């Protein structure tokens, strides 16, 4: 869905004007498109690229030093006219002739070929290259019929570098053709795109399904499947591309290639990185040496959800040209990329974050070690309860917060449980087990509540220590310390609609009952009931602390997420303590 436009028929023109206004360092607006602010050196080849609009950064985003000298920009998904191409080519030409570069689509072929003839008719040397990287668009024995997608970038970049090196036109054209023969792409889409002013998408993919080999203008795919996991998609893309190596490359192992993972318009960079993580693994496992991987948007199809993978199979000539410096609005290769062309950071820099407390381990007494498994049992119960409640907690947090409370609590409680299991197995006392759990929780959970839960468990662990068997009085006083720590660090008071509203009555009830002589399990369960009542009562409050405060009024009628999760946890631990006592 395109939301921001004026008159839909002026969209492409207005986008071009805005692009030029924003990128004066690289381009000047010209009749029919843009030309590079840095002209071709006298007597060198000018590389002029182009195609329809709606594919940004193709094509204008690739105009700049070391790359293209001009881009002819057509209307939405429509080839520029021969007149536009001619105007841009003549503006960019500086005595060395012109190489025209475009994706292999009927309209583009027609217009670029016409423009080439006109150029030649005017006595200007002109060659052209139609990029044909999309292997889904025609079988291997019909390579010349294939259309161009993100492989455009590789071919234009290499041609631009050859032109900048002063190589003559015939040779630049040969290199561009060679690059094109070495570039292969394959893409998938999860849905269509809707052009400005249109009410319906250009095409659609059924919900939950994925079209394989779909073109960037909605040309039909070759196959459909369920939307796979990120790793499974990576596997499929790599499998398809390794299944069709360019002529002259007998096997992938030992070869050097540039992988380009291209988002088609509305796939998040982070999603692409998740997919690329696996792509890199698989290519490396196949023995391919990855050179300057590119992950981002290089050739889009408006706001189409989808992605394509391109492999540029290098030889020394292509690699030298690919790595030559270039800078444009949407793409750059500089000294750093060239120097670290194949660098890949597989190990985290610096030591693994530790989930263990930094203090020297104390020698645990047998009594404290004996209590450690109960601590673990409680943390297991906490995690189980949180897993069940995760969706509900997310929903509550979404009313006025950001909806991540469930996810964060799942991550935190799982890490705490696992760290505690380790610590118990290593023979630690109850205090150390809790402190290990605390560090793991705050490290993994993220968010405000993660930090506060880390604080609470740590305060409790410090209070219990590793010497005494934790009795009811020690637990009640440790809980009081934990609550004090949250109040001190978070600054929330009762009534602010935070977890403090549940913590305070919980701790108070626990202390009263324990002081009055109640056994721990009994006192804990009564305290948990008080926490539950108090958490429910937060529904009538408006938040004054935390993220939710900015949408305070909206949360009236809904309890506080952190108070609610605390009550659930307190109840779950109460049940475990009861069982322990039996």
Q: Which residues are catalytic?
A: 217
Give the Cα separation of 486 and 496 in Å (integer): 13
Contacts to Mg ion from residues 404-443, by CB under 5 A: 404-405
The residue (of 397 and 462) whose beta carbon lies closer to Mg ion is: 397
Report if residue 454 touches ligand ADP, rule: CB under 6 A. Answer: no
The residue (of 401 and 559) whose beta carbon lies closer to Mg ion is: 401
Report what 569 binds from ligand ADP, Mg ion, none; CB cut-off 5-8 Å by kind. none
Report what 187 binds from ligand ADP, Mg ion, none; CB cut-off 5-8 Å by kind. none
13: tokens are 């023109």
Report if residue 560 touches Mg ion, rule: CB under 5 A. Answer: no
Cis peptide leading into residue 292 (ω within 30°): no
The residue (of 284 and 402) whose beta carbon lies closer to Mg ion is: 402
Nearest to 539 by CA among 575, 563, 573, 572: 563
Minimum distance, C-beta of residue 65 to Mg ion, in the bound complex (Å)? 46
**Phi, psi dihedrals of residue 259, rounded to the nearest 5°:** -85, 135
Minimum distance, C-beta of residue 357 to ligand ADP, in the bound complex (Å)? 23
Report if residue 404 touches ligand ADP, rule: CB under 6 A. Answer: yes
Report if residue 448 touches ligand ADP, rule: CB under 6 A. Answer: yes
With helix as H, strand as E and coil as C, how does 154-196 read?
HHHHHHHHHHHCCCCHHHHHHHHHHHHHCEEEEEEECCCCCCC
CB 314 within 8 A of CB 68: no
CB 92 within 8 A of CB 44: no
Among 187, 293, 562, 574, binds ligand ADP (CB under 6 A): 562
Report if residue 490 touches Mg ion, rule: CB under 5 A. Answer: no
Report if residue 130 touches ligand ADP, rule: CB under 6 A. Answer: no
Report what 525 binds from Mg ion, ligand ADP, none; CB cut-off 5-8 Å by kind. none
Give the Cα separation of 30 and 12 in Å (integer): 14
Among 44, 128, 300, 449, binds ligand ADP (CB under 6 A): 449
The residue (of 401 and 465) whose beta carbon lies closer to Mg ion is: 401
Report if residue 146 touches Mg ion, rule: CB under 5 A. Answer: no
From 389-397, 434-442, 460-468, 514-522, span contacting Mg ion (CB under 5 A) = 389-397
The residue (of 404 and 481) whose beta carbon lies closer to Mg ion is: 404
Report what 508 binds from ligand ADP, Mg ion, none; CB cut-off 5-8 Å by kind. none
Report if residue 401 touches ligand ADP, rule: CB under 6 A. Answer: yes
From 21-29, 113-121, 146-154, 540-548, span contacting ligand ADP (CB under 6 A) = 540-548
CB 163 within 8 A of CB 40: yes
β-pairing, 332-333 vs 33-36, is: unpaired
Minimum distance, C-beta of residue 449 to ligand ADP, in the bound complex (Å)? 3
Using alpha carbons only, how large is the chain's radius of gyration in Å? 31
Report what 490 binds from ligand ADP, Mg ion, none; CB cut-off 5-8 Å by kind. ligand ADP
Among 82, 169, 252, 452, binds ligand ADP (CB under 6 A): 452
Q: Which residues contact 350 (CB under 8 A, 6 or more apart)?
A: none
β-pairing, 33-36 vs 70-76, is: antiparallel
Among 460, 560, 568, 572, binds ligand ADP (CB under 6 A): 560
Exposed, middle or buried, 25 (CB in 10 Å: 0-12/13-18/19+)? exposed
Nearest to 105 by CA among 301, 329, 386: 301
Count the Cβ atoms, other than its own, within 10 Å of residue 350. 6
With helix as H, strand as E and coil as C, how does 47-79 read?
EEEEEEECCCCCCHHHECCCCECEEEEEEECCC
β-strand partners of 128 = 100
Residue with tokens 């939405």: 76
The residue (of 306 and 546) whose beta carbon lies closer to ligand ADP is: 546
The residue (of 259 and 408) whose beta carbon lies closer to Mg ion is: 408
In whole angstroms, how far apart are CA 76 and each of 8, 14, 532?
Answer: 10, 12, 58
Report what 152 binds from ligand ADP, Mg ion, none; CB cut-off 5-8 Å by kind. none
Q: Contacts with Mg ion: how many residues (CB under 5 A)?
A: 5
Report what 214 binds from Mg ion, ligand ADP, none; CB cut-off 5-8 Å by kind. none
Minimum distance, C-beta of residue 562 to ligand ADP, in the bound complex (Å)? 2
Nearest-CB residue to ligand ADP? Answer: 562
Nearest-CB residue to Mg ion? Answer: 401
Q: Which of 369-372's residues contact partners 24+ apart within 8 Å by CB, and which partners?
A: 369/427, 369/428, 369/429, 369/430, 369/466, 370/469, 371/429, 371/430, 371/469, 371/470, 372/423, 372/424, 372/428, 372/429, 372/430, 372/433
In the shown chain, the binding pattern of residues 489 to 528 toward ligand ADP, with x for contact by CB under 6 A and - for none, equals -xxx-----xxx----------------------------
Report if residue 401 touches Mg ion, rule: CB under 5 A. Answer: yes
Q: Across the chain, how many H-helices and E-strands are there?
A: 17, 15
Give me the residues that bind Mg ion (CB under 5 A), please. Answer: 397, 401-402, 404-405
Give me the residues that bind ligand ADP (CB under 6 A), please. Answer: 397, 401-402, 404-405, 408, 447-449, 452, 486, 490-492, 498-500, 545-547, 560-563
């Amino acid at each position: 869905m395109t939301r921001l436009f004026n008159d839909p028929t002026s969209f492409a023109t207005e986008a071009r004007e805005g692009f030029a206004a924003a990128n004066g360092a690289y381009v000047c607006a010209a009749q029919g498109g843009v030309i590079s602010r840095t002209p071709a050196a006298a007597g060198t080849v000018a590389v002029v690229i182009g195609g329809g609009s709606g594919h940004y950064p193709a094509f204008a985003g690739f105009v700049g030093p070391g790359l293209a000298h001009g881009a002819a920009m057509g209307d939405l998904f429509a080839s520029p006219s021969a007149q536009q191409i001619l105007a841009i080519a003549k503006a960019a030409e500086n005595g060395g002739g012109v190489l025209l570069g475009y994706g292999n689509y009927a309209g583009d072929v027609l217009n670029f070929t016409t423009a080439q003839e006109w150029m030649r008719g005017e006595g200007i040397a002109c060659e052209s290259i139609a990029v044909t990287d999309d292997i889904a668009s025609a079988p291997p024995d019909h390579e010349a019929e294939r259309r161009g997608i993100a492989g455009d970038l590789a071919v234009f970049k290499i041609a631009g570098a050859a032109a900048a090196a002063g190589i003559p036109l015939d040779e630049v054209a040969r290199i561009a053709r060679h690059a094109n023969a070495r570039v292969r792409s394959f893409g998938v889409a999860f849905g269509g795109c809707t052009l400005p002013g249109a009410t319906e998408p250009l095409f659609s993919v059924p919900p939950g399904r994925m079209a394989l080999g779909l073109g960037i203008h909605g040309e039909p795919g070759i196959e459909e499947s369920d939307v796979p996991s990120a790793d499974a998609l990576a596997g499929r893309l790599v499998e398809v591309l390794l299944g069709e190596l360019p002529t002259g490359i007998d096997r992938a192992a030992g070869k050097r290639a540039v992988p380009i993972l291209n988002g088609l318009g509305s796939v998040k960079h982070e999603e692409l990185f998740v997919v690329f993580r696996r792509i890199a693994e698989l290519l490396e496992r196949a023995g391919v040496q990855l050179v300057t991987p590119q992950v981002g948007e290089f050739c889009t199809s408006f706001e189409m959800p989808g992605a394509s993978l391109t492999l540029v199979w290098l030889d020394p000539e292509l690699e030298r040209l690919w790595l030559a410096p270039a800078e444009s609005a949407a793409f750059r290769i500089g000294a750093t990329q060239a120097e670290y062309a194949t660098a890949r950071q597989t190990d985290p820099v610096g030591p693994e974050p530790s989930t263990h407390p930094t203090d020297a381990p104390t020698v645990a007494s047998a009594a404290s070690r004996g209590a450690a498994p109960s601590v673990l049992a409680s943390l297991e119960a906490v995690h189980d309860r949180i897993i069940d409640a995760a969706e509900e907690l997310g929903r509550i947090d979404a009313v006025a917060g950001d909806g991540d409370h469930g996810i964060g609590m799942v991550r935190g409680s799982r890490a705490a449980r696992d760290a505690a299991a380790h610590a118990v197995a290593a023979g630690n006392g109850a205090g150390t087990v809790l402190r290990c759990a605390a560090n793991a929780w705050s490290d993994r959970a993220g968010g405000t509540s993660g930090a506060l839960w880390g604080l609470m468990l740590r305060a409790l662990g410090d209070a219990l220590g590793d010497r005494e068997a934790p009795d009811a009085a020690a637990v009640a006083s440790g809980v009081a310390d934990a609550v004090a720590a949250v109040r001190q660090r978070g600054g929330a008071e009762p009534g602010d609609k935070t977890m403090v509203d549940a913590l305070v009555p919980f701790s108070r009830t626990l202390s009263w009952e324990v002081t009055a002589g109640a056994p721990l399990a009994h006192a804990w369960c009564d305290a948990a009931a008080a926490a539950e009542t108090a958490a429910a009562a937060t529904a009538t409050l408006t938040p004054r602390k935390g993220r939710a405060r900015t949408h305070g009024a909206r949360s009236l009628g809904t309890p506080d997420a952190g108070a609610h999760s605390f009550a659930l946890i307190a109840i779950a631990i109460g049940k475990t303590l009861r069982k322990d006592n039996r």
